[in-house]
Amino acid sequence: MHKYHASRKRARLRWRHSDKGKAWDKAYRQRPYVKAKAKAKYSYIEYKEKMIKEYQEEKTNNILIEILQGILMKDGLKDEQIKTEIKNKKVA
Percent of all residues in the chain with a pLDDT value above 90, rounded to a whole number: 39
- Domain limits, the chain: 8-42, 44-92
The answer on pLDDT for 10 being more than 90 is yes
Q: Single out the residue of 12, 35, 38, 16 nearest to residue 25, CA to CA.
A: 16
pLDDT greater at residue 11 or residue 81: 11
pLDDT greater at residue 62 or residue 74: 62
pTM: 0.41
Check: CB of residue 21 under 8 Å from CB of residue 15.
yes
CA 83 and chain centroid, separation: 37
Kindly report the length of the chain. 92
The mean per-residue pLDDT over the stretch 24-53 comes to 86
